[in-house]
Structure 1
Amino acid sequence: MGFFNFLMSKVFFKHLAIAVVIAVALLWLTLKALDVYTHHGEALTVPDFTGVKYYDLEKNDVTDKYGFLVIDSVYDDHLQKGTIVLQDPPAGSKVKQGRKIYVTVVATQPEMIPMPNLIDLSLRQALNELKANGLKLEKMEYVENFAKNAVLAQRFEGDTIIPGMEIQKGSAIELVLGKGLDGEKIEVPFLIGKTEAEVIDILNSSSFNVGFLKYFDERDKLHSRVFNQQPAGSTNYRVDYGSYVDLWFRSDLDFNFDSLIIAYGSDTLRIDSLMVEPIKVED
């Protein structure tokens, strides 16, 4: 009975109250310490680090607020080596102090890759392989061979390059392809209103080389579109495999391409029945 009497005594309730107060105080102090340690409720606005040299970050005070980790590098002759070109999270994001910023920097040395084997691939397969490996097409040379549009040789800077040889990423490769033995000619695609990227893809995949490019307005990947082409696009006019097509560009911000395309043929977007003569443009 003594134990139960103690539970009902003032001494017990006094000690219980003290224990509860101490427990609550310890819990409060723990939570406050966590808030301080994790900066709970505090948010920093991530600055824009693009264009900043990675090794210059330590000269600023930003390393006290953020951690940095390089996750990739790219090589670009037009950008200063060692500078940041991409960041995650992006500028303007709200983060806690100590948040790690993942960055991509401009490599100091060009990336080297093994030359893929394009021999015996079709033109379309070879173009896809070049793109997948970060290489570009310089030009196509067609020779008489029964293997029409199949790659017979691959060259770099005029010399044959064997598969597996180290080559700088972004290099331009020349392809030698067969054009058959029947003397077939191919029609010129209609390119009016297309962007530079679109016409390069269309011409190359259609066995044409890109000729000279003339811009009447400031070059703009988004708004510069083909204003004129020579030779003109037509199913009635055929040329040799590997022929060059010259292109003139204007900005769609300053020129009405819809009207121009309608002038060439509103239904088919071709100039098979040629309602107008090709536009004459001074060089």
Structure 2
Amino acid sequence: MKQKLKLSFDQVKNKFKIFFRNPWVKLSLINLGLGILFYFIVIFSTIKYLDVYSNHGEEIAVPNLVGKKSSVAKMQLEDMGLSYEILDSIYDPSLPNGIVKQQMIEPTSISKVKVKENRIIGLRLSKKTELTEMPDLVFKHVDFAQGILENRGFSSRIQYKPTKEANGSVLDQKQNGKSITKGTRIPIGSEITLIVGQNEVGVLVELPNVVGMNYQDAISLLGSKGLESISTICNDCENLQDTLSAVVFGQSPEYMPEKTVERAQQIVVLINAGANQTEEPIE
């Protein structure tokens, strides 16, 4: 039995010797070895390159940028080899525009974490003003209208206008003396003037005589009497200056001594730019 096993082993050994003596086999083995060696060289070189390219092992402490101007934060990050990205803005009326409110990677002093070079730090900046749409308040009750304005961040003041209808309701909405329409985007915190109707039917005031007066003086006199519902007709006024320098040549209702009118009565004032003529008042 042992003799047979020895014979079989010798036979296998001889076959291997014959196999490896073949020049094609030797060449194949050499190529295989060179391929394996080349593979390990490529893997090692790639790892080494990535280590160098990404500054593997070199870490940078993230600074605390909150409270700094965006320009200062940008320079500081660039000097440290870091990048930044402005993500969005946060409304804060107590701060000027462009102050860092938040940074998306916390400073190393808090997080105890460092980052690699060129890491992007996200920044959220402050903005002093924020625009929002003006609501439509016309014909809404003044208390309800003020609540809507307050909820949208606006302030309000009330200016009453004599009226025979819509008592306590908003007749007009203004900003800086000009009517403002629904949907107009204005800064939060703006003051809105609400022109509110005030029913003064039956309240009588003396009707002044404004014929021959300068237009501005006439309007002031009517206002001092509580007459604020005034319409102006000018025949030849081309601009605001013409209107302001015009002379009143007629009024309706017509002036009569000791004549009274309701405070809500509309007064029509007729003017000519630079004219001194007087015409019969209209009824």
| TM-score, structure 1 as length reference | 0.44
| TM-score, with length taken from structure 2 | 0.44
Name the one with the larger helix percent: 2
